[in-house]
Amino acid sequence: MFKTSRNSIFKQLRSVHTLPRLANHETWSSQGIPGLLSPQGYSTAWTNYQTYLLTNLTLLTNGTANETKKPFEILLNTAKQTTQQHTFHYAAMSHMNHFFFEQLTDKSTSSSSKPSRFLMEKLIHQDILDIDALRTKMLTMAENAYGQGWIYLVEDKTKNLQFLQCNNDGVPYYFGKRQQLDLNGGIDELSFNSLANLQKRAAAASGVAGQEKSGVVVADEDEQYLPILAINYWDYMYVEDYGVTGKNEYLSNLWDHLNWDVINKRLFQV
C-alpha cells in the first residue's frame, strides 16, 4: 500500500509506502498466531520488518519513475537494471512477505480448509498424490536449504505446477532474479540444469539482441512463473520464537497455519 501527502510549497504529491492491512492484524498483534508466532514474533516478522522494507522502498523511489508504483510493479521494473539492485531487493521482499502472510491463518481455520481437487490433480504430474506428500516435498526442500530464502509452488505458462527454490530475495517472476543456485555446497541436478540453461541463454544472447532490434519480440521460454504457495525460511520468521536452531520446528508449525482457501484461488481456473 502507499499513500500520498501534499507538499504545501511545491504542490507535489509524494508517495509513502505503508503497511498493508492483513485481515487478522489486530488479533495477531495482541495475541500472535497461536501455535506459530507469539505477539512479539508476529511484530518482528510482519509489522516491524515489513515497515522497514517499505520505508527503505519509499526512500529509494521518491522522485523516480517508480515513486507511485506498488512493490510488485517496482520489482518488475528494476529486475533487469543492474544499477537498481537495492530498490529491487526492498520491492521483492516487501511483495513476497505480504504474499506469504496473506496465506496464513489460525490453526482451526487451516484444518477446515484443504487443497482443491483441481490443485491436487495438477500435482499428480509432480508425483504428489496427497497433501502429506506435498508437505514432505516442500518442507524437506526448505529444511535442506542453506542460508535464507523461499520455496515456491509455481504455475508455469502452460498452467503446469513446479517446485522452485529461490535463495535470498529471489522471486519466480523473472529467471534472472530467481537466485536458484547456491554455490556454498555441491551442485545438484537441478542446479546443474539451471547453469546449463543460463549458458544456452548467454550463447544465444547476441542472436536475441539482433531479433529484438529488428522488431521481433523474443520471449524467454520459462519466464512465466507465478507463485501459488510460498514457504518462507528467512531467519526473521523464526528466530524470535524458535531461536537460531528452530527452523525445522517453525516449518512444521507453519504448515498447520496455511489457508488453502486463499492458496486455491491463486491457481488459474477456466
User: pLDDT band for position 3 (50/70/90)?
Assistant: low
Mean pLDDT of the region 229-257: 97
- The pLDDT of residue 99 is 98
- The pLDDT of residue 181 is 76
Grid coordinates representing 156 are: 508455469
The pTM is what?
Answer: 0.84
pLDDT tens digits, 189-237: 766 777 787 778 777 765 555 554 444 333 454 567 999 999 999 999 9
- The pLDDT of residue 6 is 47
Query: What region does 64 belong to: left with phi over 0, alpha with psi -120 to 50, or beta?
Result: beta
- The pLDDT of residue 198 is 72
* Spatial CB neighbours of 59, under 8 Å, sequence gap ≥ 6: none
- The pLDDT of residue 218 is 39
Q: Measure CA of the first residue to CA of the last residue in the chain; give whole Å.
A: 29
- The pLDDT of residue 4 is 52
User: Does pLDDT of 183 surpass 60?
Assistant: yes
DSSP string, 181-203: --TTS---HHHHHHHHHHHHHHH
Q: What are phi and psi of 173, to 5 degrees?
A: -70, -30
Assess if CATH 1.50.10.100 describes domain 24-206+218-266.
no
- The pLDDT of residue 199 is 79
User: Does pLDDT of 16 surpass 50?
Assistant: yes
- The pLDDT of residue 201 is 75
- What is the torsional sign of CA 171, 25, 264, 126? positive
- The pLDDT of residue 46 is 98
- The pLDDT of residue 15 is 73
